[in-house]
Amino acid sequence: MTEHLSRTALITGASRGLGLALARDLASRGWHLILDARRKDDLEAARAELAKLTRVVAIAGDVSDERHREALAKSARDLGGLDVLVNNASILGPSPQPPLLDYPLATLEEVYRINTVSPLALIQAVRNELKPGARIINITSDAAVEPYPGWGGYGSSKAALEQLSNILAAENPDLRVYRVDPGDMRTRMHQEAFPGEDISDRPLPEESVPGLIELIEGDLPSGRYEARSLHASKG
């Protein structure tokens, strides 16, 4: 708990699923945390748990809200800057997911606003708070690259996030910008994607965390990574 005492990570969507699993791991390593999610009670439960281990600032809000992003950036400034920003908050869109020919366009715009535009907007908001060598991790999906029928809205939002990350890395060689497919995980979003199905065979989000830690604490170049194979390849 001493080694990284002064390191700070901002993780969006940290009240459950992958975001909470990563927050728990970093808290146990002594990282300071700034967390968000829209639902106040869930976020407060996460904050209360993690505050037993480390310094935690939890701000309820929607990543697509500019004032909320400004509040996150102010917290980053107050805590002395960011070593890591994890753009994890995301929505699936309608469940079940409609094919593209029937996809409601207003909903598509919302999916893009939250999954694609907001991560870039948050990076812009905290750009002056990023410490030298800071890591930006944008959580994407295999649906960003595979043409799964029914995944056109969510998948294309993640495809755009991938290319945003790719170009951001080329434009900012001083930053590490990682776009990361965490793999299928047993979470609320996954259950929404497969309504009524038994998803108990999917790995827990905790299994994707070690790969993220490799990126956060290691020295890998900017690029696209699969969280679980990344960790498996280290043995």
Interface with ligand NAP includes 162 (CB under 6 A)? no
Interface with ligand NAP includes 15 (CB under 6 A)? yes
Contacts to ligand NAP from residues 29-68, by CB under 6 A: 36-39, 42, 62-64
Among 189, 207, 213, 217, binds ligand NAP (CB under 6 A): 189
Contacts to ligand NAP from residues 89-148, by CB under 6 A: 89-91, 114, 139, 141
Give the integer Cα–Cα distance in Å for 182 and 205.
Answer: 8
Interface with ligand NAP includes 224 (CB under 6 A)? no
Give the integer Cα–Cα distance in Å for 185 and 199.
Answer: 9
Give the integer Cα–Cα distance in Å for 7 and 69.
Answer: 20
Stretch that binds ligand NAP, among 1-9, 78-86, 88-96, 120-128 (CB under 6 A): 88-96
Residue nearest to ligand NAP (CB): 17
CA neighbor of 139 nearest in space, from 71, 204, 77, 91:
91
The SS3 assignment for 188 reads helix
Cβ neighbors of 161 (< 8 A, separation 6 or more) are 87, 115, 116, 119, 138, 140, 144, 179
Interface with ligand NAP includes 26 (CB under 6 A)? no
Give how many residues touch ligand NAP by CB under 6 A. 31
| Residue given tokens 């935690």 in the structure block | 56
Q: State the minimum distance, in angstroms, from the CB of residue 5 to ligand NAP.
A: 26
Among 7, 17, 125, 225, binds ligand NAP (CB under 6 A): 17
Stretch that binds ligand NAP, among 123-131, 179-187, 211-219, 225-233 (CB under 6 A): 179-187
- Provide the total of helices (H) and of strands (E) in the chain, helices listed first: 9, 7
Q: What element of type H or E holds 211?
A: helix 209-217
Give the integer Cα–Cα distance in Å for 65 and 122.
Answer: 10
Q: Which residues bind ligand NAP (CB under 6 A)?
A: 12-19, 36-39, 42, 62-64, 88-91, 114, 139, 141, 182, 184-185, 187-190, 205
